[in-house]
Amino acid sequence: MKVIRKFLDIVILVVILQSYMITIAYALNNQIEKTKVEIEYQYKEETNTVIATMVSNNELKPTKVSWKLSEDKKHYTFEFSANTTYDTTVEDIYGNIIPVTINVTQVQEKKAKIEMDYQYQEKTNTVMVTIISDIELKPTKVSWKLSQDKKHYTFEFSANTTYETTVEDIYGNIIPVTINVTQVQEKKAKIKLDYKYKEETNTVVVTIISDIELKPTKVSWKLNEDKKQYMFEFSENTTYDTTVEDIYGNVIQVKINVTQIIKPEVKVEYKYNTDTNKVLATIISNIALQPTKISWELSEDRKQYTFEFSGNTTYDTTVVDRYGDIIPITINVTQIDDKAPKITTEYIYNEDDSITVILHSNEKLGATKVNWKLSDDQLSYTTTFYTNQEYATSLQDIYGNETWVKIKIQLKKHEYTYPKGPNVTVKYLYDSNEKVTVKIVSDKELKPTKPTWQLSDDRKTYTKVFTSNNIYTTPIVDVDGIQVEVTIIVNYYKDTHKGVDVSEHQKIIDWQAVKNSGNDFAIIRVGYRGWASDGTLVEDRFFSTNVIQATKVGMDIGFYFFSQAVTIQEAREEAQYTLNLLSKYNVPIKYPIAIDTERTPVGTGRADKISKELRTNIMIAFCEVIRSAGYQPMVYANKNWLLNDLEVERLNCYDIWMAHFAKVTDYKYPYTIWQYTSTGTVNGIVGNADINIAYKKY
């Protein structure tokens, strides 16, 4: 019972305390001042706005998101740009909602007053228009210029116009404005043309002359400082229409008519020399020519090129006049006697059982057969045979055209036998005196038929000393009258030069090792035309590397292009393709640029079966493009290709690079480089290498 009573006493005490606390809180609440809100208004003249401030005696809650609440939370502010009246509320921190009435009346009704000003600019024939305001304007007109005080808009008009526009003042007022430009005058340039011929350049300077300034609208013409004259220098006659524009925007039509430039005129004359069987071709121009044809002779006045041809030929070439014009020319030499004499053989049987042979010719013969008697009229050779024999001999007309004649001697009183000719060997002796001694050694006695050679006492050895390279075939005759032909080849004389030719097939080359192994020069493949019907032009994959590295170690270099051209135009395209690739490298080119003509390894190349004449014309076309560019042209082919698939006589004005894989060669026409093997060994080149000998220093 005591416990229960004690618990009840505690409960009663708690109830009494709670009642007391409520009484105290109520008393305190009645002592807090109620929230009062007053409104203050402040006018801002510079912006024509009113800042309204709600001032409270108690802190306010941030319930008005568009108004700004002060740090002490007793002031709300908002800037009004227009008069207004409306009711709103605020809430104090005790949750009391206080009604507030906003009444803004001080904002003034301001609006910009606009005036217009027009200033005519005589120099430019334009009008400067100014929009003038008494109060600041907003930057709403992007094409007009607004002054720093923002009270003036300006714009320059180049044409009369009338149109409506607007401006906006800083108070947001939109003011309509009428633009009326009438002072721009109707001015237009007067144009005349002047033509002045320049003889030193064969050009015409055309000047467009205006009485007022022109705009710089003609980018390829030069406008002078006063902007009243345009000038352009023409290198060709032409007629065309163009325009100029004056500073007032007027577009004036102009007709250009250039006629004074001299057009190059070129003709070719031919003069045949019966004494030498040669033709002097003369290219005659009305304009001085540039020295681009290095194998032709240019006259002092530079209007005539001359060249003496020893063989008939037809090919296309070019000359370049002093002004750089390239004139195509066709050379057609036909007067030269290049036909071999026609020979008939007459046999006269003598009483002493000898046979006199007379070789009759249809034209005069040269005195080339020392053991035969040439008639006074030079139309026949005569000699007498005393033994049976059969051999071939050659006769030449006075111009060197050669005919071989087969002679068969069969005496009546003797059984016909074929006498055995001498066995001959040729020996070459090189000494320190820069000469080569050549010995023709026979196993039979020889007749003294070679006056320029020395015959030994036993009459079995001919000897001759050479002081330069030489290749030719000469006859010797033994005591029985049997003739054999001997080929003399002096190849390794002091002025020969050793070199290699390379392409992508050799891949990476150690050029320093190539040079150190005694090679003086290298001929590098630039590219090739594909064998297929489309004939795509392709750059050799190692061309760039070979050019740079070979030049770097000091090799003298030349180049070649493997041709599959089937037209003259394609040949020129190949030559220009070669020149374009070479133009990328500033390297000295001492050796020739050659066109490589040969049958493709597969035997089905697009150019394998073209005619001999066309193939020759293609070689000439390629070479002439190279020559016109200032380089030495060359033709590469093997011996059989030169003899059977090209008209080699027509190519005698170019250096020949002849391929014949042999220890000695019997090729009888001129050549300056001999490729004598394709299976050589050269330090720095992996695998087989092409090795060449050059017989002159380029």
Tell me: the pLDDT tens digits for 41-86? Answer: 998 877 888 999 999 999 999 999 899 999 999 999 999 888 999 9
Q: Phi-psi bin for 459: left (phi > 0), alpha (psi -120 to 50), beta?
A: left
**What is the pLDDT at residue 580?**
94
Sorted by where each begins, the domain ranges of the chain are: 1-31, 37-104, 114-181, 191-258, 266-333, 343-409, 424-490, 497-694
Tokens of 606: 């697009």
Furthest C-alpha separation in the chain: 196
Q: Is residue 478 within 8 Å of 678, Cβ to Cβ?
A: no
pLDDT(433) > 70: no
Rounded average pLDDT over 547-563: 95
> Per-residue b/e over 47-76, b at no fewer than 16 CB within 10 Å?
ebbbbbbbebebebeeebeebebeeeebbb
Would you state the pLDDT for residue 565? 95
How is residue 662 annotated by DSSP?
A: S
Mean pLDDT, rounded, of the chain: 87
Q: DSSP character for 571?
A: H
Residues 659 and 520: their CA atoms lie apart, in Å, by 19
Residue 558 confidence (pLDDT): 97
Confidence of residue 313 (pLDDT cuts 50, 70, 90): confident
pLDDT of residue 386: 77
| pLDDT value, residue 552 | 93
Both tokens of residue 131? 């929009």
Per-residue confidence band for 415, with pLDDT thresholds at 50, 70 and 90: very low
| Region of poorest pLDDT, from 106-115, 190-199, 420-429, 549-558 | 420-429
Q: Using the Cα atoms of residue 523, residue 527, residue 529 and residue 532 in order, give the sign of their dihedral.
A: positive
Report the SS3 class of residue 41. Answer: strand
Strands 126-133 and 97-104: unpaired
Question: What does the pLDDT look like over 438-483, one tens digit per residue?
Answer: 889 998 999 999 889 999 999 999 999 887 767 777 888 998 888 8
In this predicted structure, what is the pLDDT of residue 491?
55
Burial class (CB in 10 A: 0-12, 13-18, 19+), 586: exposed
pTM over 0.85: no
Asked whether 90 and 100 are in contact (CB, 8 A), the reply is yes
**Which residue's structure tokens are 């038929």?**
449
d(CA 490, CA 470): 5
How confident is the model over 589-639, as pLDDT tens digits?
Answer: 999 999 999 887 767 789 988 999 999 999 999 999 999 898 999 999 999
Per the DSSP assignment, residues forming a β-bridge with 466 are 436
* Residue 499 near residue 523, CB atoms below 8 Å: yes
What is the percent of the chain with per-residue pLDDT over 70, rounded to a whole number? Answer: 91
Q: Token pair for residue 491?
A: 């190849």
- What's the topology of domain 497-694? TIM Barrel (3.20.20)
Per residue in 149-206, pLDDT (tens digit) is: 999 999 998 888 999 999 999 888 899 999 999 888 778 889 999 999 998 888 999 9
Retrieve residue 209's tokens: 């002359």
- Contact between 467 and 435 under an 8 Å Cβ cutoff? The reply is yes
